[in-house]
Amino acid sequence: MLRRRVAQALERGALRGPVARTLGSLWARAADPVRPVRLPPGVRVVGVGGATLGGSGKTPLVLALARELARTRRVAVVASAYSARVRAPRVVRPSDDVGLVGDEALWLACALPSVPVLVGKDRTEALALAARDVELVIVDGLLQARPERLACSLLVLDEREPWGSGRCPPAGDLRAAPGELLARADAVVMPRGSLLGARTDQGELLSVAALRGRRLGLALAIARPERVLRDLRAQGVEPVLVATQADHGRFPAPRAGDIEAWLTTPKCATKLGSRHGGAPVWVLERALIVPPALLGLVLGSGEANQERASLASPGVSCETLSPSPGR
């Protein structure tokens, strides 16, 4: 609960006093979105980084990119090692324990059966292992590298709150000053997916319409969980019980409640299993289709416009924006 309260304070920018503002300014000056990583030779490495400490939507974009690119390329993914206990890099298996490999890595491994997903505390070592027998590696959580730049760097922003609370910790949840983040990226992407429904514990996809009017709970351990609740309510789905934990957190025994099922995200489902507190767990599904122009940028076959360009496809639209010249 303490972690969740701290996260909420950062996400809201609740600390507004002079001390918090001063410390936030110092963070912004010191924050470096470029990480020292040795890139493997002969492989195109693509980084996907978020503007905030959580909740930008980078991992869903990594998943969508890997799924689409794997149709024509040999692709691997290096997942975020946050909350993982592994030391040496390893390939993540769907049967792995979430406490060992982390929730995001396990989610990606389950969702990408034909794509190797790796996790490791040392990104250089994980990249070296991932680069074997592939043409392209996508790194979740890496915006830019040094001394050699990434082949392509994508900065992911949330559509409604692109810069989070607008300040760096402890005054907010921004990773670094917006100018610094933009200067390191080749393009800015704002993914917008449409809710398809929920996958039941029996594998059936229930439409949004089929979820309306049911007694459902909502269990979330993600950054900015209110966005999921807001989106469900906008579709006419009103959970009768909401349980939230800090991003990547574990779920305690649920509060008593007469519900038909728990709704949750794919990431949270790695920790909930098929049942939670006696009720089945249904996993929310979204459509996130990667536009051809973004695929071209990632593959190096297209250049981002100097002007803002709308890249629309059914179920999602992304916007790319090149940083100003002379970065």
pLDDT digits (tens, 9 = 90+) for 253-281: 776 578 999 999 999 999 998 999 889 99
Contact, 63 vs 108, CB < 8 A? Answer: yes
pLDDT tops 90 at residue 206: yes
Q: Output the CA–CA distances (angstroms, integers) from residue 302 to 288, 295, 297, in the order listed.
A: 21, 8, 5
Contact, 69 vs 136, CB < 8 A? Answer: yes
The band of 2, judged by pLDDT with boundaries at 50, 70 and 90, is: low
For residues 305 and 46, the model is more confident at 46
Question: Which of 116, 72, 50, 117 has its CA nearest to residue 296?
Answer: 72
The proportion of the chain whose per-residue pLDDT surpasses 90, expressed as a percent, equals 72
Tell me the whole-structure pTM to 2 decimals: 0.88
pLDDT of residue 211: 98
- Backbone phi, then psi, for 14, in 5-degree steps? -70, -30
pLDDT of residue 312: 30
Range 208-237 average pLDDT: 95
The band of 289, judged by pLDDT with boundaries at 50, 70 and 90, is: confident
Q: Which range among 9-13, 49-53, 135-139, 171-175 shows the weakest confidence by mean pLDDT?
A: 9-13
d(CA 214, CA 260): 7
d(CA 232, CA 284): 10
Helix axes 58-69, 292-299, angle to 10 degrees: 80
pLDDT tops 60 at residue 283: yes
pLDDT of residue 306: 33
pLDDT of residue 12: 74
d(CA 55, CA 38): 27
HEC profile of the chain? CHHHHHHHHHHHCCCCCHHHHHHHHHHHHHCCCEEECCCCCCCEEEEEEECECCCCCHHHHHHHHHHHHCCCCCEEEECCCCCCCCCCCEECCCCCCHHHHCHHHHHHHHHCCCCCEEECCCHHHHHHHHCCCCCEEEEECCCEEECCCCCEEEEECCCCCCCCCCCCCCCCCECCCHHHHHHHCCEEECCCEEEEEEECCCCCEEEHHHHCCCCEEEEECCCCCHHHHHHHHHCCCCCCEEEECCCCCCCCCCCCCCCCEEEECHHHHHHHCCEECCEEEEEEEEECCCCHHHHHHHHCCCCCCCCCEEEEECCEEEEECCCCCCC
pLDDT tops 80 at residue 198: yes
Q: What tokens appear for 160 in the block?
A: 């409604």
Range 167-175 average pLDDT: 92
Range 52-60 average pLDDT: 92
The band of 1, judged by pLDDT with boundaries at 50, 70 and 90, is: low
pLDDT of residue 163: 94
pLDDT tops 90 at residue 69: yes
pLDDT tops 60 at residue 18: yes
Q: Looking at the DSSP assignment, which residues form a beta bridge with residue 52?
A: 174
Q: Average model confidence (pLDDT) for the chain?
A: 88
pLDDT of residue 4: 66
